[in-house]
């Protein structure tokens, strides 16, 4: 089975050109190292409607992984989990819990995970270290999760 992924960076600073996006390249490198083809990288501002729209567009007709980075903390503009909940069909709390347990600072993440059609959506923190730690916590089960989403029966 082919493993495809897309990455959505949620950051006002990156959109405004005030800082470089360092999390998406770190996520892409880890995903590619695990056999995923990263098909798209997109950046959107910290805005609930914009994030929900971007996730929906990226997941529409897509069988694969959509990973967001940023907007999962306690800042007033951190609304990625709320935007994700607006568009996912089903939440996957076990994945989100495992991601938060990856490191002590993970406890400060409000990120969620869920399915949207045949896409699996994961929220990760905006720091490169946090994003990769959260992904690393679940990467071993992602291929199986995507097989199940596609209706494939595991061997």
Q: How far is CA 105 from its chain centroid? A: 17
Task: Write out the two tokens for 148.
Answer: 């199940």
Beta-bridge partner residues of 77:
none
Q: Are 142 and 65 in contact (CB under 8 A)?
A: yes
SS (H, E, C) 3-62: CEEEEEEECHHHHCCCCCCCHHHHHHHHHHHCCCEEEEEEEECCCHHHHHHHHHHHHCCC
Average pLDDT, integer, range 80-98: 98
CATH topology of domain 4-149: Molybdenum Cofactor Biosythetic Enzyme; Chain A (3.40.980)
Determine how β-strand 113-116 pairs with β-strand 90-91.
antiparallel
* Interatomic CA distance for residues 99 and 103, integer angstroms: 8
Q: Where are the domains of the chain?
A: 4-149
Angle at alpha carbon of residue 24, lines to 59 and 132, rounded to 5°: 100
State the number of CA atoms in the 13 A half-sphere of 142 facing the CB: 28
Residue-level pLDDT at 154: 61
> Token match 């996520």: residue?
27
| 112-143 residue pLDDT tens | 999 999 999 999 999 999 999 999 999 999 99
Q: Are 68 and 48 in contact (CB under 8 A)?
A: no
Beta-bridge partner residues of 143:
none
The mean pLDDT value of the chain amounts to 96
| 23-64 residue pLDDT tens | 999 999 999 999 999 999 999 999 999 999 999 999 999 999
Average pLDDT, integer, range 68-86: 97
pTM: 0.96
């Amino acid at each position: 089975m082919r493993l495809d992924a897309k990455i959505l960076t949620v950051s006002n600073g990156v959109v405004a050109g005030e800082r470089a996006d360092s999390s998406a390249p770190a996520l892409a490198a880890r995903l590619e190292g695990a056999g995923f083809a990263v098909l798209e990288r997109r950046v959107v501002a910290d805005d609930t409607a914009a994030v929900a729209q971007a996730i929906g567009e990226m997941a529409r007709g897509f069988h694969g992984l959509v990973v967001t980075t940023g907007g999962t903390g306690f800042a007033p503009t951190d609304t990625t989990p709320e935007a994700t909940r607006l568009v996912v069909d089903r939440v996957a709390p076990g994945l989100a819990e495992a991601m938060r347990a990856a490191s002590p600072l993970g406890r400060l993440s409000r990120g969620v995970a869920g399915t949207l059609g045949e896409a699996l959506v994961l929220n990760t923190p905006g720091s490169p270290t946090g994003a990769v730690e959260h992904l690393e916590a679940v990467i071993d089960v992602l291929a199986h999760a995507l097989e199940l989403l596609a209706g494939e029966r595991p061997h």
